[in-house]
Amino acid sequence: MKVLLCNVSHRNNEHAHDYAGLFYLAGALEQEGFQPLVYHGQPENLLAEVTRNQPEAVGFSCDFDNVQIIESLSRKIKEGHDIPIVVGGANSMALGRDFLATSGADYVLRGECERSLPMLFNAILKKQGDISEVRGLAMIRNGVLVETPPDIIDDLDTLPLPAYHTSMHPHRSYGSTILTGRGCPFSCAYCAPSPGKRKVRKRSIFLVLEEIKINLKNNPALTYLVIMDDIFTMDRQRIEVFCEGMREIRKERDLIWYCECHVGQIKTFKEVLPTMIDAGLIRLQIGIESGDQEVIDQYNKHIKVHDVIDFVTYAADCGLAQMATNFIVGGPKEKAGATAALIETLMDRAPGVIDIITGFLRAYPGAGIFENPEKYNLQLHDQSGRQSGDDYPFVTPVGCSQEQVMKQRQELNRLIRLRMQQKIKNHEMKVEAVMKQYQAALKYGISSRWFKEISANPRAYEYYYVLYLEEGQAFVESLDFSRDYPQRTFELWRSITFSEGFPQLDGIALSPLEYELLLRCAGKRSLETIEAELYGLYGKFYESQNEFHGKLVEVLFQFDAKYWLTHFILD
């Protein structure tokens, strides 16, 4: 029997998580003899796919952004096809009688559905089993909303692997996401408390590694793996076993990976981080949310600001390429400047590494902030969640308007960009850190905010690109004039202007010495040869050759600071 599983959104061109949840469900359905098809795409194309494939039932994955889309599509499917419609997903806990009535859907399925969805389809399509035994089910019977408690799967090793071959999108590649466990031991006030969320369960690392190997075999282009666990770094020994397996895999394939961690946990065994980096960890996500410790405590995050600073510093010193984090805007009132101060501190400790974004506070059904906003001195402007989007705040502190919260986020982002631009301009990033950003972006397609800001500075981008290609290197304090060959990072004819009657570069007037030096920095002559030529032209203006040499070195380092020059050493 053919069943269609759908994730519909106007943003479904993104490749964020391979829609792995649907493929796990597809694997479970296939194991029960069904023929699942997985659709993840634009809503306007779904109805044609339903007509073309004629499924026996349709299932929707509902999150906090596509409720209205699913309502509309469900009604239209019901109008043209007399088939059951099931809605599950992250937002299923918030769906009840009203949603079933307005959408025309037959069932809402909550919790972990790898067992309950096949049971439901067996009952309604094959007439096998009792529908009342399906856990997590919500439906209307005789005008009454009937609900059963959600299913939580204790042994994750019993689940089938994701059935990526059921995709209706043959042009897509899959396998870049992996689940090693479910659940989180923490209960942050803003986090959606989905069924089973508080119960931590872990898969066998052996099975996880086997799944990765299968994905690599099926996807020859796979180079970047996303570990989807809420918190991967809960068990040092388990991390080390995973890293040992990844090192073996990396002997055959260049595979790097991402995971999330909780600073309050990993701080007790942070020495495992170099092991993770050696095994291919390229990007690590940590949650901070605020620079005000009182607000962090209100969020119930179980972290300390000083631990965050220490860990970020340690991670940068260990050579981690990217550390991502988020700060919430529009949450409980903070001490003035607390978040801005922490952002500046983190950028000082890990320039070129700490990748900071901001986001509005969202009130997910069931979360502490949603259930009791007064406790946090917050107000909800869209309790239904139907208008909420990531680009507009629907939660604000009491007495603070939505426009004020937007302005706060704008100011925070402006600060982040300004500090990044200053550090790029002033060469405050270690060259090794920048090279890892280039590698992440150009080799693996993982662009950080640092890479984007460097790319927005043409001189800096070209300078570091030359270093990345190993066609030049940065100047060091002690130059070897007999072996150092300076070279420009730009094409003279494109960059030099003479509109004012004298040479200018990037709006800076060049002295005759500076201009003649740039002309000679083509990577063809040593500094020793260049110095001899320039001394013959301008030496008469200096009291001694030593004074001229000092001036030349000063100009060279000024050019390096402006990203105009690199050099290479000829052995």
Of the listed ranges 123-132, 354-363, 427-436, 473-482, the least confidently predicted one is: 473-482
Does residue 450 form part of some domain?
Answer: no
Statement to judge: residues 83 and 136 lie in one domain: yes
Q: 3-7, 286-290, 292-296, 471-475: which range is least confident on average?
A: 471-475
Mean pLDDT confidence for 116-130: 96
Q: Which domain holds residue 183?
A: 175-428
Asked whether residue 155 is assigned to any structural domain, the reply reads: no
Q: Which two tokens stand for residue 121?
A: 């389809």
- Residue 327 domain flag: yes
CB–CB of 450/420 below 8 Å? yes
Q: What are the CA-CA distances from residue 460 to residues 12, 315, 356, 468, 469 (Å)?
A: 34, 25, 20, 12, 14
Asked whether the predicted pLDDT for residue 571 surpasses 80, the reply is no
**Would you state the pLDDT for residue 477?**
73
Q: What is the mean pLDDT of the chain?
A: 93
Measured CA to CA in angstroms, residue 34 lies from 87, 295, 536 at distances of 18, 49, 86
Confidence label for 391 from pLDDT (cuts 50, 70 and 90): confident
Percent of the chain at pLDDT exceeding 70: 97
Which conformational region is residue 403 in: left (phi greater than 0), alpha (psi within -120 to 50 degrees), or beta?
alpha
8 Å CB contact between 280 and 209:
no
The CA radius of gyration of the chain, in Å to the nearest whole number, is 29
Looking up tokens 């972006």 gives: 441
Calpha distance 249→280 (Å, rounded): 10
Q: Same domain for 231 and 361?
A: yes
| Per-residue confidence (pLDDT) for residue 388, from 0 to 100 | 57
Per-residue pLDDT, averaged over 398-424, amounts to: 96
Query: How confident is the model over 343-357, as a mean pLDDT?
Result: 98
Element (H, E) at 97: helix 97-103
Query: What CA–CA distance (Å, rounded) separates 334 from 358?
Result: 15
> Do 245 and 377 reside in the same domain of the chain?
yes
The residue from 384, 408, 428 where one domain ends is 428
- My answer on whether 39 and 134 are in the same domain is yes
Contact 309, 349 (CB under 8 A): yes
Q: Which residues pair with 567 in a beta bridge?
A: 473, 486
How far apart are the C-alpha atoms of 179 and 211, rounded to whole Å?
Answer: 10
184 lies in the same domain as 143: no
Quick one: CA dihedral 232, 233, 235, 237, positive or negative?
positive
CB-based burial label for 268 (10 Å; 0-12, 13-18, 19+): exposed
Q: Are 168 and 49 in contact (CB under 8 A)?
A: yes
- Lowest average pLDDT, out of 8-12, 366-370, 383-387, 507-511, goes to 383-387
Question: Looking at the domain assignment, is residue 465 inside a domain?
Answer: no
- Nearest C-alpha neighbor of 192 from the set 88, 65, 91, 60: 91
DSSP 92: G
Q: Residue for token digits 């570990």?
A: 227
Return d(Cα 6, Cα 44) in angstroms, integer: 12
Instruction: Give the pLDDT confidence score for residue 192 in this predicted structure.
Output: 79
**Same-domain status, 109 and 15:** yes
Lowest mean pLDDT among 150-164, 302-316, 380-394, 536-550: 380-394
Q: Answer yes or no: do 226 and 133 share one domain.
A: no
Q: Do 407 and 496 reside in the same domain of the chain?
A: no
Q: Calculate what percentage of the chain has a pLDDT beyond 90.
A: 85
Give yes or no: residues 349 and 202 share one domain: yes
| Rounded mean pLDDT, 512-528 | 95
- Copy the structure tokens of residue 415: 């600060």
* Under 8 Å between Cβ of 293 and 301: no
Block residue for tokens 């479970």? 28
Q: Which helix (H) or strand (E) segment is 494 a member of?
A: helix 492-495
Residue 522 located in a structural domain:
yes
Please indicate, yes or no, if residue 167 is contained in any of the structural domains: no
Number of domains in the chain: 3
Provide CB contacts within 8 A for 486, sequence distance 6+: 520, 521, 523, 527, 530, 556, 565, 566, 567
Residue that terminates a domain, selected from 410, 428, 446: 428
Query: What residue type is 16 in one-letter code?
Result: A
Both structure tokens of 425: 């301009």
CA distance 349 to 308: 11
Statement to judge: residues 201 and 312 lie in one domain: yes
CA pair distance 87, 94, nearest whole angstrom: 11
Are the C-beta atoms of 201 and 378 separated by less than 8 Å? no
Look at residues 428, 448, 476 and tell me which one is the last residue of a structural domain: 428
| Residue 173 backbone dihedrals phi, psi, to 5 degrees | -105, 150
Q: Residue written as tokens 């031991």?
A: 185
In 3D, which of 111, 99, 106 has the Cα closest to residue 141? 106
In a domain, 498, yes or no: yes
Kindly report, residue by residue over 46-87, the tens digit of the pLDDT: 999 999 999 999 999 998 888 999 999 999 999 989 899 999
Number of residues written out for the chain: 571
Clarify whether residues 399 and 530 are in a common domain. no
Please tell me the distance from the alpha carbon of residue 325 to that of residue 288, in angstroms, as a whole number: 7
Q: In CATH, what number is assigned to the domain containing residue 93?
A: 3.40.50.280
Residue 477: count of CB within 10 angstroms of its CB: 6
Q: Is the pLDDT assigned to residue 14 strictly greater than 60?
A: no
6 shares a domain with 103: yes
pLDDT at residue 16, as a whole number: 46
Confidence (pLDDT) at 252: 95
Q: How confident is the model at residue 165 (pLDDT cuts 50, 70, 90)?
A: very high
| Helix, strand, coil percentages for the chain (3-state, nearest 5) | 45, 20, 40
Residue 136 region, left (φ>0) first, then alpha (ψ -120 to 50), else beta?
Answer: left
In a domain, 437, yes or no: no
pLDDT of residue 411 exceeding 90: yes
Looking at residue 362, its pLDDT comes to 86
Give start and end residues of each alpha helix (H) in 151-229. Answer: 205-218
Gap between the Cα atoms of 374 and 377, Å rounded: 5
φ and ψ at 413, to 5 degrees? -65, -35
The mean pLDDT value for 449-476 works out to 94
Who contacts 297 (Cβ-Cβ below 8 Å, separation ≥6)? none
